[in-house]
Amino acid sequence: MGRFFGTNGIREVVGENLNARFVAGMVGAIAEVVGDSRPMLVAWDGRTSSPAFARIAAGTLSVGGLDVLELAAMPTPCAQYSVPRLKASCAVVITASHNPPEFNGIKGIADDGLEFTTRTEEAVEKAYLEGRSRTVRFDQVGSIRAETGGIERYLNGIRSLVDVEAIRKRNLRVVVDCGNGASATTAPLQLGQMGLRYVSLNGNLDGVFPGRSSEPTEANLRDLVASVPATRADLGVAHDGDADRAVFVDDRGRFIPGERVLTLLAREEVQHAGGGTIVTPVTSSQSVEDVVTPFGGKVHYTRVGSPVVARAMVETGAIFGGEENGGYLFPKHQCARDGAMTLAKVLELVARTGKKLSQLLDELPPYFLVKKKVACPIPLRQKVLSEVPSMLDAGKDAATRVVTLDGVKVITPKGWVLVRPSGTEPIYRVFAEARDPKAAEELAATTLSKVEELIRKLQGTAP
Ligand code: MG
């Protein structure tokens, strides 16, 4: 993990670590590492400081000798979609995704539309720390032009990949909660273009996020959950701050955990393609494997993080991928988490099957995923991890499998448990899944207390 770049780009508090000088320095470093004769794109989300930082980014690139195409306030996947289509060398996106309003950040998109690789991020950080950023002579300054077709091109691309006629005929009603984030620039437009009737919540761009917090969790989506049955809608959808994720509420007003939608979409894609590979992190539900196997599908597991999932999808030629947090990737569209593409696919599924979303979800195998966390000092992190297998008695039973791709996952016939250090916080996360909620809770609680005991023991003996 880099010093500035986290799992999904740089995120810092505005006015503290994130200021004009930092943005100019970091964007100058990006120009040094990936800049060539092609133009660079600049896009931004709806945060209060985003237009300002975007202009600083554009100016830095221009005086560095690069041509700049300024896109607009838009979802991150919309900016990603533009990069290969405008034959750009990269996009700099000013966004802090779902973080609280005091944050902002920088995301780097490579020329293939995927997020920067770790190697590129490390090279950029090195260039930043060395202060490598240049200003060219007056006759070599790059141009800055507005490129206004990005949203239109993106929504047209999505419509071309789904059965719009079937969606239109079903006469669906949708409640969309943009959370005052970047989807305000695309989601109402997208629904209108597909001929849907919709109710919009928090549908104006506002960087203070007055409507709700921009992370689409169940606790933050109470208005959406209440609005779906109240308006007799077929479903509700909410996006995070930069709209690369989509989270759903069914027609009965139930908040749907991300792993259920992942399972539903995985089955649909595999069934439709007659097989294929699904890429998902080790934190995902067993139900994905259960539903795709009968249709000849395979699951390829990765470490946690959407850039890792996206790269693995390219390498394995996967037909679909996603994470349990509502980030889903459709490679025919692009190998990037995409909230608008996900919404279109869910609408198509409901329209094609003629079923209610609640019905489709209730047909899936029942699994219950419980997530817990425990504080763990970072110096103890590795030690805890090395003791987890013996602590869980992993491998004692022939039917048990141990996976150490990211943390330690122990899979038994009754369910699985995963103990994994967070990449960003001094905590351990415990995931447990079983076919009934009580068993999942018990598995999580037992494992959690074992990890707590282990940490206490190591703290006591630690020098
Ligand atoms: Mg996001």
Task: Report the pLDDT value the prediction gives residue 412, as an integer from 0 to 100.
Answer: 86
Distance 253 CA to ligand 1 centre (A): 24
Task: Report the pLDDT value the prediction gives residue 460, as an integer from 0 to 100.
Answer: 81
Task: Report the pLDDT value the prediction gives residue 107, as an integer from 0 to 100.
Answer: 97
In a domain, 48, yes or no: yes
Could you tell me if 340 and 414 lie in one domain?
no
CB 286 within 8 A of CB 295: no
- DSSP assigned state of 14: B
Confidence of residue 401 (pLDDT cuts 50, 70, 90): confident
Task: Report the pLDDT value the prediction gives residue 79, as an integer from 0 to 100.
Answer: 98
Confidence of residue 379 (pLDDT cuts 50, 70, 90): confident
Distance 240 CA to ligand 1 centre (A): 6
Task: Report the pLDDT value the prediction gives residue 1, as an integer from 0 to 100.
Answer: 43
CB 287 within 8 A of CB 364: yes
H or E stretch including 136? Answer: none
Q: What is the mean pLDDT of the chain?
A: 94
Could you tell me if 109 and 169 lie in one domain?
no
Cα dist from 186 to 65, 192, 344, whole Å: 32, 10, 12
**Could you give the dihedral angle defined by the CA atoms of residues 374, 288, 280 and 222, in that order, rounded to the nearest 10 degrees?**
-60
Task: Report the pLDDT value the prediction gives residue 422, as an integer from 0 to 100.
Answer: 82
Could you tell me if 141 and 39 lie in one domain?
yes
Confidence of residue 3 (pLDDT cuts 50, 70, 90): confident
Please identify, among 256, 282, 298, the residue that sits at the C-terminal boundary of a domain.
Answer: 256
Would you state the structure tokens that stand for residue 314, as one six-digit string? Answer: 């390219």
In a domain, 397, yes or no: yes
- DSSP assigned state of 18: B
Could you tell me if 26 and 143 lie in one domain?
yes
Would you state the structure tokens that stand for residue 264, as one six-digit string? Answer: 């539903």
Counting residues of the chain whose pLDDT is more than 70, the rounded percentage is 98
In a domain, 4, yes or no: no
CA distance 351 to 104: 38
Range from 170-179, 355-364, 423-432 carrying the lowest mean pLDDT: 423-432
pTM of the model: 0.94
Q: Which residue did the predictor score with more confidence, 462 or 236?
A: 236
Handedness of CA 77, 79, 85, 88 (dihedral sign): negative
Distance 442 CA to ligand 1 centre (A): 32
Would you state the structure tokens that stand for residue 66, as one six-digit string? Answer: 């690069």
Confidence of residue 434 (pLDDT cuts 50, 70, 90): very high
In a domain, 194, yes or no: yes
In a domain, 132, yes or no: yes
CB 14 within 8 A of CB 102: yes
Distance 268 CA to ligand 1 centre (A): 24
User: Mean pLDDT over residues 179-187, rounded?
Assistant: 98
Which CATH number is 415's domain given?
Answer: 3.30.310.50
Distance 242 CA to ligand 1 centre (A): 5
**pLDDT(2) > 70:** no
User: Mean pLDDT over residues 28-56, rounded?
Assistant: 98
Which CATH number is 54's domain given?
Answer: 3.40.120.10
Three-state SS at 445? helix
In a domain, 5, yes or no: no
Residues lying with their CB under 5 A of ligand 1, a single-atom ion: 97, 240, 242, 244
Could you tell me if 15 and 144 lie in one domain?
yes
User: Mean pLDDT over residues 287-312, rounded?
Assistant: 95
**pLDDT(399) > 80:** no
In a domain, 96, yes or no: yes
H or E stretch including 414? Answer: none
CB 236 within 8 A of CB 196: no
Could you tell me if 131 and 166 lie in one domain?
no
Degrees to nearest 5, angle at CA 301 with 454 and 95: 90
**pLDDT(280) > 60:** yes
Distance 379 CA to ligand 1 centre (A): 29
Task: Report the pLDDT value the prediction gives residue 382, as an integer from 0 to 100.
Answer: 85
CA distance 285 to 288: 6
CB 205 within 8 A of CB 243: no
Task: Report the pLDDT value the prediction gives residue 289, as an integer from 0 to 100.
Answer: 95
Specify the number of domains making up the chain. 4
Range from 160-174, 285-299, 368-382 carrying the lowest mean pLDDT: 368-382
Highest mean pLDDT range out of 28-32, 376-380, 407-411, 457-461?
A: 28-32
**pLDDT(81) > 70:** yes
Confidence of residue 463 (pLDDT cuts 50, 70, 90): very low
CA distance 308 to 155: 26
Would you state the structure tokens that stand for residue 201, as one six-digit string? Answer: 């919540």
Could you tell me if 357 and 386 lie in one domain?
no
Could you tell me if 243 and 263 lie in one domain?
no
CA distance 104 to 106: 7
User: Mean pLDDT over residues 437-461, rounded?
Assistant: 90
**pLDDT(292) > 60:** yes
Could you tell me if 285 and 385 lie in one domain?
no
Structural domain boundaries enclosing 455: 368-461
Could you tell me if 98 and 226 lie in one domain?
no
Distance 243 CA to ligand 1 centre (A): 6
Confidence of residue 392 (pLDDT cuts 50, 70, 90): confident
Task: Report the pLDDT value the prediction gives residue 178, as an integer from 0 to 100.
Answer: 98
Task: Report the pLDDT value the prediction gives residue 461, as an integer from 0 to 100.
Answer: 59
Counting residues of the chain whose pLDDT is more than 90, the rounded percentage is 86
Please identify, among 362, 385, 412, the residue that sits at the C-terminal boundary of a domain.
Answer: 362
Could you tell me if 298 and 284 lie in one domain?
yes
Confidence of residue 394 (pLDDT cuts 50, 70, 90): low
- DSSP assigned state of 379: G
Could you tell me if 133 and 19 lie in one domain?
yes
Confidence of residue 44 (pLDDT cuts 50, 70, 90): very high
Active-site annotation, residues: 97
Residue 116: CB partners within 8 Å, gap ≥ 6? 5, 90, 108, 109, 110, 124, 307
Label residues 417-437 b or e (16+ Cβ within 10 Å = b): bbbbbbeeeebbbbbbbbeee
CB 302 within 8 A of CB 322: no
Task: Report the pLDDT value the prediction gives residue 429, as an integer from 0 to 100.
Answer: 92
CB 158 within 8 A of CB 190: yes
